[in-house]
Amino acid sequence: MRVAHFEQADKAMKRKEEYEASILKVIETLKQVQADMAAPKSVKKLVKEATDVLAKENTTVGVRAASAVQLLEEANQDTNLPMLSRTRIWNALTLLEKIKD
């Protein structure tokens, strides 16, 4: 019984570490979008908000990911968004959608 409990706790800890690593990758990707001179200011603002949400450590990884997904989906709707930035946002969304609590 005890061994099973420790195995579950170990799996949960590994999963959380993987999620945190994914969040760090997403933040780096979003910084590239923010640095894109061709990206509209409105998109950069939403991307900055998503980055800030992901950086908060006082909420669970699932909540942070879900909040960032909403912001990034809104940013992705901008018709003036350059294709490279759009692709980066899609890649970020792919990583974030795998994160669950």
Catalogue all structural domains in the chain, each as residue range(s) with its CATH number. Answer: 2-97 (1.20.1440.50)
Query: Could you tell me the pLDDT band of residue 101, with boundaries at 50, 70 and 90?
Result: confident
User: How far lies 65's CA from each of 7, 61, 93, in Å?
Assistant: 25, 6, 9
- What is the model's pLDDT at position 48? 98
Q: Is 25 exposed, middle or buried (0-12, 13-18, 19+ CB in 10 A)?
A: middle
* Alpha helices (runs of H) in the chain, residue ranges in sequence order: 2-35, 41-55, 61-76, 83-97
Q: What span, in angstroms and rounded, lies between the C-alpha atoms of 98 and 93? A: 9
- What is the model's pLDDT at position 49? 98
Query: Could you tell me the pLDDT band of residue 7, with boundaries at 50, 70 and 90?
Result: confident
User: How far lies 58's CA from each of 54, 61, 85, in Å?
Assistant: 10, 9, 29
- What is the model's pLDDT at position 2? 62
Does pTM surpass 0.85? yes
Reported as a single tens digit per residue, the pLDDT across 26-55 is 999 999 999 999 999 999 999 999 999 999
- What is the model's pLDDT at position 57? 87
Q: What does the angle CA 64 – CA 70 – CA 73 come to, to the nearest 5 degrees?
A: 130
Cβ neighbours for 35, distance < 8 A, ≥ 6 positions apart: none
Q: Are 20 and 61 in contact (CB under 8 A)?
A: yes
Reported as a single tens digit per residue, the pLDDT across 67-88 is 999 999 999 999 999 999 999 9
- What is the model's pLDDT at position 47? 98
